[in-house]
């Protein structure tokens, strides 16, 4: 049994089907990528899994437990958390205070402030932001704010971490560092689901990849299988290029 099982998940917004009958399973301690053209339904999928949006139909099971439609706050305490495409730090708080809040309200929440601060500092060391712990979150660069977003998620002590375009807008060096962090997170026992438009990044870091197109699952497999899948190539490059290979 995988850590996450999604069965027949669908979401309608008015007359628009954002997601249609999507099913897949995520194995423990894997890095599973989710790719597809703009509007394919990737972020909607993450929102359904993490409780930000209720599904129209289908089910989500976390470690064998049906959590379909559960609130995000409850799911965090069950060990599932996400980051967002657009960083959302508490800009009027310091870097360590941002992470400390996550420790207080995460899985196995810590009540004592001193203990929560110590745990926050441990997480900041993992993402290489401990030297900026006392700075205001508002003065961090985009790359540093992305790291802070990951740090706040890790501070909740998740079993399953959903990362939504954490490399978007980063330099090549920052992207390389972020992917190293993703590997480190997996090595520490956390399962990762990863949305990314940077094909080179997702192909290099993921064990398996699921491709969405127009809200439906188009393909699923290992990176090399996805890279050479005619249906995936057509979705990205058009029908005239179905004999090509996705260049990453």
For the domain covering 1-79+159-248, report its CATH number. 3.40.50.300
pLDDT of residue 16: 87
Contact predicate 34/40, CB 8 Å: no
Contact predicate 133/121, CB 8 Å: yes
Q: Which regions of the chain carry the CATH code 3.40.50.300?
A: 1-79+159-248
User: 91: which residues sit within 8 A by CB, 6+ positions away?
Assistant: 136, 137, 138
Q: How far apart are CA 36 and CA 215, in angstroms?
A: 9
Contact predicate 220/35, CB 8 Å: no
Contact predicate 22/9, CB 8 Å: yes
pTM (2 d.p.): 0.91
pLDDT in tens, 180-202: 999 999 999 999 999 988 888 89
pLDDT in tens, 95-120: 999 999 999 998 887 889 999 999 99
* Nearest alpha-carbon partner for 150 in 200, 114, 188: 188
pLDDT in tens, 39-89: 899 999 999 999 999 999 999 999 999 999 999 999 999 999 999 989 989
pLDDT above 90 (res 22)? yes
User: 244: which residues sit within 8 A by CB, 6+ positions away?
Assistant: 233, 237
């Amino acid at each position: 049994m995988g850590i996450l099982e999604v069965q027949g998940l669908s979401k309608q917004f008015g007359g628009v089907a954002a997601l249609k009958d999507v099913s897949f399973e995520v194995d423990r301690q894997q890095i599973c990528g989710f790719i597809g053209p703009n509007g394919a339904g990737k972020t909607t999928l993450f929102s359904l899994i993490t409780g930000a949006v209720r599904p129209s139909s289908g089910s989500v099971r976390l470690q064998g437990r049906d959590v379909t439609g559960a609130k995000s706050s409850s799911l965090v305490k069950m060990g599932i958390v996400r980051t967002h495409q657009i960083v959302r730090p508490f800009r009027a708080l310091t870097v360590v205070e941002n992470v400390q809040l996550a420790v207080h309200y995460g899985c196995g929440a810590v009540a004592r402030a001193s203990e929560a601060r110590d745990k926050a500092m441990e997480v900041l060391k993992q993402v290489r932001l401990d030297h900026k712990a006392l700075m205001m979150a508002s003065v961090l660069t985009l790359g540093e704010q992305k790291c802070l977003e990951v740090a706040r998620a890790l501070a909740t002590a998740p079993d399953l971490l959903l990362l939504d375009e954490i490399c978007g807008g980063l330099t090549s060096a920052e992207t390389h560092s972020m992917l190293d962090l993703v590997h480190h997170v997996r090595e520490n026992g956390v399962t990762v689901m990863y949305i990314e438009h940077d094909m080179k990044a997702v192909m290099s870091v993921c064990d398996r990849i699921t491709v969405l197109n127009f809200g439906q699952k188009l393909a699923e497999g290992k990176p090399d299988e996805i890279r050479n899948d005619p249906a995936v190539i057509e979705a990205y490059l058009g029908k005239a290029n179905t004999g090509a290979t996705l260049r990453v």
